[in-house]
Structure 1
Amino acid sequence: MKKISAKLLRIYLKEEDKYGKELLINSIIKTLKTNGIAGATVFKGFCGYGTRGISRIDILRLSMNLPAVIECIDYEEKLNDIMPKLVEMVSENGLITIQDIDVFKELKK
């Protein structure tokens, strides 16, 4: 089995954050796809906290702005190419991390 070095990109934000008039999550997913990133997944949390306070499910509220994480895996060069755009989109609304990982499947170049 061939091991490939790649990067895991994670973006932490809240589900109702906006980029212009669109939800930030949707804008980021479109940007990742448009730029040929291999794939992405959005995870929705039920509770979390950060510099913008605590987010949690509250059955007394009709709307919830819960935490969300977008993850994608690709080669370092491809992620570096789109990083300035992602940083601009996320701005003060979240946190972006990248870590080294090993992948056991060839990624699209």
Structure 2
Amino acid sequence: MPAHDMLAARLTIHLDAAVVWHHRPAYAELVHRAHREGLAGASVFRGVTGFGSGDPKRPSHGPKGPCTVVIVDDEPRLRDFLPHVADVLGETSAVAVLDRVRVHAPRARA
């Protein structure tokens, strides 16, 4: 079956995996809120090492280290979502990047 492409947007949030929001990892709170808002999908990726505006991060073993939350949906929905997570992001040194993407998905079998 042929595949189809569709336009979407990707919200990528870079933060430290050790950041906690109300006794819960901040990355888990971000995914929870994305799910609650009915966004299309969200994933969390742990980094081995990285750096940002602060000191370089050393290789991560355990709960510390770089972390990325990736959320995909329509651009207006992601723009509307950002104010819903401003409280979480404001307590961290997180960086949020919003960019347009083309989603390539195979058609479902009938």
Please give the TM-score of this superposition, normalised by the length of structure 2: 0.82
1:101 alignment partner in structure 2: 101
Give the C-alpha shift of residue 20 in structure 1: 2.4
RMSD: 2.0
1:40 and 2:42 correspond? yes
Please give the TM-score of this superposition, normalised by the length of structure 1: 0.82
* 1:14-42 superposed Cα distances (whole Å, 9 cap, x missing partner): 10101122210111110010001111111
Unaligned runs of 5+ in 1: none
Unaligned runs of 5+ in 2: 106-110
* 1:27-73 superposed Cα distances (whole Å, 9 cap, x missing partner): 111001000111111110111011132212267xxx55110001111
**CA distance in 1 between partners of 2:38 and 2:50 (Å):** 31
- Structure 1 residues 94 and 75, CA gap change in structure 2 (3 angstroms): same
Letter in 1 for 2:101: I
Percent identity for Structure 1 against Structure 2 = 21
Select 2:15's aligned residue among 7, 13, 16. Answer: 13
Q: Give the total of aligned pairs.
A: 103
Letter in 2 for 1:24: A
- Structure 1 residues 58 and 87, CA gap change in structure 2 (3 angstroms): closer
* 1:55-96 superposed Cα distances (whole Å, 9 cap, x missing partner): 12267xxx5511000111100121122111223211142100
